[in-house]
Chain A
Amino acid sequence: MTAKLAGRRWPYVVLTGLVSGAVTWWAIPGLDRVSAPIVRVHAGNDVGPVLPSLSLETLVTAPQAKVMLLAAAIAFLVQLYSTAYLKDDRRYRSYALLIVLFLVAMVAVVVADNLFVLLIGWEVMGVCSYLLIGHHWERADARSGAAKALLVTRIADIGLLLAILVIGQTYGSYSILYATSAAGAETPRNATLIGLLLVMAIAGKSAQVPLQTWLPDAMPGPTPITALIHAATMVAAGVYLMAELLPLYASSAVAVTTLGVVAAVTMLSAALFALAQADLKRALAWSTVSQLAYMYAAIAAADPDAAIDHLVSHGAFKALLFLGCGVAMHAVGSSALSDMGGLRRSIPVSFWTMTAGFAALAGLVPTVGFFSKDGVLRALSEGANPLPEPVRQVVFAVAILTSVVTAAYAARLWLLTFSGSPRPRHAEPAAMVVPLVGLAVAVFALAVGHHLDVGIGTISTAAAVVGIAAALWLRGRRPRLARPLERELGWDVLFSRAIPVVTNRAARFVAYADDAVVDAYPRGGAQAARGVSGLLARWQSAKAQLYATVIAAGALALVLIAVSR
């Protein structure tokens, strides 16, 4: 019955596999291209404004190839996983096709050399995330979460559009390669403006302060979609964009400091929110926000490679955690931490793979999370970067503190999910387990070949150990500090109350002005026309005798005039 409703699943998996395979085939040669090709930059400053153009030029070098491989792999695993997760879903077809579209849009963002093509992919991803977050649109929270995601990201997208226009005005081209080459060849111009507009764009897309609240509210979406959005697409696009366009704004201390401060505030607050959460999925969402802030901190410290590295590593372990969270939800029927506990026996494969995922999140030593986070910390610890010195020190300190908190919430979530007395639960389906195992292998395999920095590694391991110890100590207690953190410091009040009130007032004023001022003129004109036509209509009485009387009176008048002359 349900199979008939939903149709067959394997064609969609095969389709995704083909698209992923093509993307992989395209990306692999790019891995060896370390630097972008040099383009010749026109001399002179009077390039002036250029018309918006679309060109299908692509550029695949090492960072692009890494992000493409990540997106292709995660999209395929998510599609495979979804065959079991959405077993009884009647809208599976649109869901599966949207995942493919999501992947294609992400690839478009990554490979495009033209900024407008990038913008198209960026917007298509926004729409896909809206549709997929609202997949269960029968539920009010899914509808409002999807609308919130769309509204917040669209508002931030204004920043990207303006940034693209400013880049075009400044460099006379909408090609990323040309603009970055030109910025490298001479002193970059309009760096502060471009940087600040880009920070606005990524704050929305990657849910950074002050636009961070949409990502946790997008949790009513299907869990595989959450994994896709959080690991490989959507939020990752912001990191990629910021890393790719770094040469355009790196010379501006204001822009880089803004990015660093946004990242520092976001990483710590989001990690604390994750620590206090009572819901596994929402806690993981805050964890994504916090980890993305790490990547932005690395970019602010002018190390985009560390950011992309952490993006890939985070993509692997966060997809693993979300997919594992989906298995746990499938087993329990809820995502509340209070309903979990004792899942160790009932879903053993998920337990072991998620343990690897939590270890990577906490930054424990053999996992890729340890190495990529150390890359970020190393970038922040070095003195020679564009961040002003006190800001760099503060961001570095915040990053260390955040890794303590990160380890604490990872340990807390792990304990609350798996420890405790086992209860009878649903088992884990095979289609869900295979992606988990693949990702768990990746969490260790990706660590191969990373450089080990003993100093930073010691600090971060110490931080992780402190955090885990704190989690063990905090277990079962609820300190007074937890209450404001559970409410997420009331950030969302700004969006759910203050902004709607202002918007409603403004809308009412505009409606009043439109009604009382603007519409008064056409309405007055209409009334005057109706009055005049009413007067004229009196004469059009369709009474032949009246007409004849008028004719007779006219003839008499003419005769009288003629006679009297």
Chain B
Amino acid sequence: MPLVLPLLLSAGLFGVGLYGALARRNAVLALIGVELMLNAANVQLVAYDAWLGDRLHTGQVFTLYVIALAAAEIGLGLAIVLTLFRARGTVDVDDVEPVA
């Protein structure tokens, strides 16, 4: 399998994730966008690992590491969104004014 196909998949995932993180007004969906971007990175790590034929499989190890990190991150993020919803009654990021 040529390297370009997983890289295109990764670029597409990253683009969709970036759009989601920047354009979605719902905080949960914005977090999902962030998650998509992380997974785009994961796809690349795995792809380069296979292409380089690294015997230590550094890329795959990093991917597992990133998955664990992403799980922790989404847990924290959803907890913040939940607290936000309880406090303000909305999860729309445009309606959340800064507490100045």
Q: What residues make up the interface of A, taking CB atoms closer than 8 Å to B?
A: 542-545, 548-549, 552
Contacts and interface: CB of A to CB of B under 8 A. Distances in A.
A545 B22 contact: yes
Interface residues of B, number: 9
Nearest to A551: B22
B21 A544 contact: no
Given A542-B98, A543-B93, A545-B94, 13 more contacts: A542-B97, A543-B94, A544-B93, A545-B21, A545-B22, A545-B23, A545-B30, A545-B93, A548-B21, A548-B22, A549-B22, A552-B18, A552-B22
A482 B97 CA distance: 87
Contacts of A543: 93-94
Interface of B: 18, 21-23, 30, 93-94, 97-98
Contacts of A545: 21-23, 30, 93-94
Contacts of A544: 93
A548 B30 CA distance: 12
13 contacts: A542-B97, A542-B98, A543-B93, A543-B94, A544-B93, A545-B22, A545-B23, A545-B30, A545-B94, A548-B22, A549-B22, A552-B18, A552-B22
A76 B93 CA distance: 87
Nearest to B96: A544
B13 to A, nearest CB: 15
B44 to A, nearest CB: 15
Shortest beta-carbon contacts, A-B, top 7: A549-B22, A545-B22, A548-B22, A542-B98, A552-B18, A545-B93, A552-B22
Contacts of A548: 21-22
A542 B93 CA distance: 11
A543 B92 CA distance: 12
B21 to A, nearest CB: 7
A181 to B, nearest CB: 77
Contacts of B21: 545, 548
Nearest to B21: A548
A520 to B, nearest CB: 37
A334 to B, nearest CB: 73
A14 B97 CA distance: 77
Contacts of B18: 552
Contacts of B30: 545
A158 B26 CA distance: 78
Contacts of B23: 545
Contacts of B93: 543-545
A552 B22 CA distance: 9
A340 to B, nearest CB: 81
B39 to A, nearest CB: 18
Nearest to B94: A543
A544 B25 CA distance: 11
Contacts of B22: 545, 548-549, 552
Contacts of A549: 22
Contacts of B98: 542
* Most chain B CB inside 10 Å of its own CB: which residue of A542, A545, A552: A545
A548 B23 CA distance: 10
A550 to B, nearest CB: 10
A549 B23 CA distance: 9
A545 B30 CA distance: 10
A542 B99 CA distance: 11
Nearest to B98: A542
A549 B20 CA distance: 11
B84 to A, nearest CB: 13
A560 to B, nearest CB: 14
A438 to B, nearest CB: 81
A150 to B, nearest CB: 56
A109 B9 CA distance: 103
Nearest to B24: A545
Contacts of A552: 18, 22
A552 B19 CA distance: 10
A543 B25 CA distance: 11
A552 B97 CA distance: 22
B17 to A, nearest CB: 11
Nearest to B97: A542
B27 to A, nearest CB: 10
A554 to B, nearest CB: 13
A228 B97 CA distance: 76
A552 B23 CA distance: 12
Nearest to B30: A545
A544 B22 CA distance: 9
A544 to B, nearest CB: 7
B62 to A, nearest CB: 21
Contacts of A542: 97-98
A549 B98 CA distance: 18
Nearest to A548: B22
B35 to A, nearest CB: 16
A548 B24 CA distance: 12
B85 to A, nearest CB: 17
A543 B22 CA distance: 11
Nearest to A541: B94
A65 B28 CA distance: 101
A541 to B, nearest CB: 10
A548 B33 CA distance: 13
A495 B39 CA distance: 94
Nearest to A549: B22
A314 B93 CA distance: 94
Nearest to A546: B22
* Most chain A CB inside 10 Å of its own CB: which residue of B18, B21, B22, B94: B22
